[in-house]
């Protein structure tokens, strides 16, 4: 309570009050058509990266990049939500507001850790040195804020007030973790057009020692690696990051920016050596992923379910941005396997009736499965499927104008997510290669009002994309063309709200 009363005299408290008033005003103007029912999204205004995901006093806390005054990216605050079960969420007051000398123009992305009885936020303080938006002249430092109640935070200023080299201006997105008796911090940096990942060590979160660059990019690796995360799974080290500036290659890296990983080893000299960069998700919208080591030892990951310079129709509805469902990561060989968090089954309502499969040419409506918040288990039997398409159509309108397609293309040997007719503004395909010897695909599909997330039952891939159909586009169809194969919906559930 003393910390809270003292903070009332802090300029940040005034800024937070103004932001909360703006958020309350924005709520009166929000249009609900695309609002997710069980994904994390801001009450109003703008959301991008998950900033800090942390387990504190028996609850999961997720912070996020937030502009409460408008549905456009702007002067960034930290939004805040919590959950006791990873499923049902509650919005909390905005956690951080910009305004101090070191974060005058934004509290950019970072992470959260628990230190004793204290919740600590480590974030990037951003300042424009020239015109707003001119990234040639910026200052970025790493800052600390702490809380004893998990809601009200006190800033401690910059704890790393300069990059390892004076010529580095882009220096952001600190991810902190504890190992033995020390804290470690990895951040993204840019020297010219070369990405670097500096590593620091501390005993108290206040004073940091630069160790070395964990990794650095070469030609073709992009110019900036945002939101780095370094963690261990099954005795291997995994380097997760979001590169900017990598070029598309065939079906790979088709988004403006990507999120992916390399599996390898961090040696005693603090250098990471690993395999090739692999995209973590192959959909249209997935960026700035950050992980959490849960209390039970699972490695969980969240990401922003949007992409820079993509269509965002909800901005006209006075809100923008959402996070994907929490996912579990496992390491199998040199690949990460990704699964929807097991807790999500708590969203299921009464199961929908069984439906017959489809193997004839053409399409068939599935009247038993209909809605905008669904979990659908799809089985594609690929034996003898040598040509044509086999799959399902989601969020179909009765007039045939809208549908989101998910199908196996036998000629390409790829599973395709096609949103050419998925509603307002969006278009394009994303896909993953399917081993031609595979005889069956089992998929878990999560639909929310403006998103679709597809998971391979065995964790080999996921496809996550935003869609913006009309509210009455609720139908599901089974699709087949060519010869061979069969598609069926094994199980399906309507899903309940994820908000308390």
Residues labelled catalytic: 49
State whether residue 404 is helix, strand or coil: strand
Is residue 126 within 8 Å of residue 142, measured between CB atoms? no
Exposed (0-12), middle (13-18) or buried (19+): which is 367, by Cβ within 10 Å? exposed
Q: Which of 217, 142, 245 is nearest to 186 (CA)?
A: 142
- DSSP state, residue 117: T
Q: What is the dihedral of CA 185, 188, 190, 194, to 10 degrees?
A: 100
State whether residue 22 is helix, strand or coil: helix
Exposed (0-12), middle (13-18) or buried (19+): which is 136, by Cβ within 10 Å? exposed
Q: Which of 326, 337, 191 is nearest to 263 (CA)?
A: 337
Q: Which of 334, 323, 254 is nearest to 290 (CA)?
A: 323
At 441, list the tokens.
Answer: 């695909």
C-beta atoms surrounding 489 within 10 Å: 22
d(CA 386, CA 409): 9
Query: How many residues make up the chain in this entry?
Result: 500
Sign of the CA dihedral with 444 first, then 449, 452, and 455 last: negative
Q: Which of 399, 414, 402 is nearest to 454 (CA)?
A: 414
At 432, list the tokens.
Answer: 């993953």
Is residue 78 within 8 Å of residue 123, measured between CB atoms? yes
Q: Burial code of 323-343, b = ≥16 C-beta within 10 A, e = fewer?
A: bbbbbbbebeeeebbbbbbeb
* Helix or strand holding residue 19 (H, E): helix 11-27
Q: Which of 341, 307, 331 is nearest to 464 (CA)?
A: 307
Q: Burial code of 79-105, b = ≥16 C-beta within 10 A, e = fewer?
A: bbbbbeebbbbebeebbbbbbbebbeb
Q: What is the dihedral of CA 164, 169, 173, 178, to 10 degrees?
A: 10
Is residue 189 within 8 Å of residue 168, measured between CB atoms? yes
């Amino acid at each position: 309570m003393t910390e809270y009363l003292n903070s009332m005299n802090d300029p940040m408290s005034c800024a937070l009050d103004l932001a909360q008033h703006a958020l309350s005003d924005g709520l009166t103007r929000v249009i609900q058509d695309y609002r997710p029912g069980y994904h994390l999204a801001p009450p109003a205004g703008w959301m991008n990266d998950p900033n800090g995901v942390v387990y504190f006093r028996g609850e999961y806390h997720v912070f996020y990049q937030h502009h409460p005054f408008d549905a456009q990216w702007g002067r960034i605050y930290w939004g805040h939500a919590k959950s006791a079960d990873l499923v049902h969420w509650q919005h909390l007051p905005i956690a951080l507001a910009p305004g101090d000398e070191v974060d005058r123009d934004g509290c950019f992305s970072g992470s959260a850790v628990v230190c004793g009885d204290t919740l600590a936020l480590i974030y990037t303080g951003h300042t424009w040195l020239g015109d707003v938006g001119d990234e040639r002249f910026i200052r970025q430092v790493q800052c600390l804020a702490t809380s004893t109640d998990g809601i009200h935070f006190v800033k401690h200023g910059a704890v790393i007030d300069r990059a390892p080299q004076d010529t580095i201006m882009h220096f952001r997105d600190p991810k902190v973790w504890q190992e033995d008796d020390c804290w470690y911090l990895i951040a993204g940096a840019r020297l010219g057009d070369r990405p670097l990942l500096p590593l620091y060590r501390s005993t108290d979160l206040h004073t940091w020692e630069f160790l070395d660059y964990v990794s650095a990019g070469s030609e073709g690796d992009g110019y900036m690696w945002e939101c780095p995360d370094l963690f261990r799974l099954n005795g291997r080290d995994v380097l997760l990051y979001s590169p900017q500036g990598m070029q598309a290659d065939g079906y790979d890296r088709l988004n403006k920016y990507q999120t992916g990983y390399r599996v390898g080893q961090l040696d005693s000299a603090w250098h990471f050596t690993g395999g090739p960069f692999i995209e973590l998700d192959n959909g249209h919208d997935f960026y700035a992923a950050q992980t959490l080591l849960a209390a039970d030892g699972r490695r969980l990951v969240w990401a922003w379910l949007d992409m820079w310079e993509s269509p965002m129709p909800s901005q006209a509805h006075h809100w923008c941005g959402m996070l994907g469902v929490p996912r579990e990561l496992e390491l199998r060989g040199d690949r990460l396997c990704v699964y929807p968090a097991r807790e999500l089954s708590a969203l299921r309502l009464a199961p929908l009736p069984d439906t017959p499969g489809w193997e004839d040419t053409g399409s068939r409506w599935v009247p038993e499965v209909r809605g905008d918040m669904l979990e659908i288990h799809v089985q594609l039997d690929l034996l003898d499927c040598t040509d044509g398409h086999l799959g399902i159509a989601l969020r179909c309108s009765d007039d045939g104008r809208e549908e989101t397609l998910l199908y196996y293309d036998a000629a390409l040997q790829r599973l395709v997510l096609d949103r050419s007719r998925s509603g307002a503004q969006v278009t394009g395909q994303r896909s993953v290669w399917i081993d031609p010897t595979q005889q069956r695909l089992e998929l878990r599909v999560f639909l929310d009002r403006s998103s679709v997330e597809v998971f391979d039952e065995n964790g080999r891939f996921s496809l996550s994309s935003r869609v913006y159909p009309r509210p009455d586009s609720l139908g599901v169809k089974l699709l087949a063309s060519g010869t061979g194969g069969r598609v069926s919906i094994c199980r399906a559930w309507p899903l309940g709200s994820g908000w308390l």
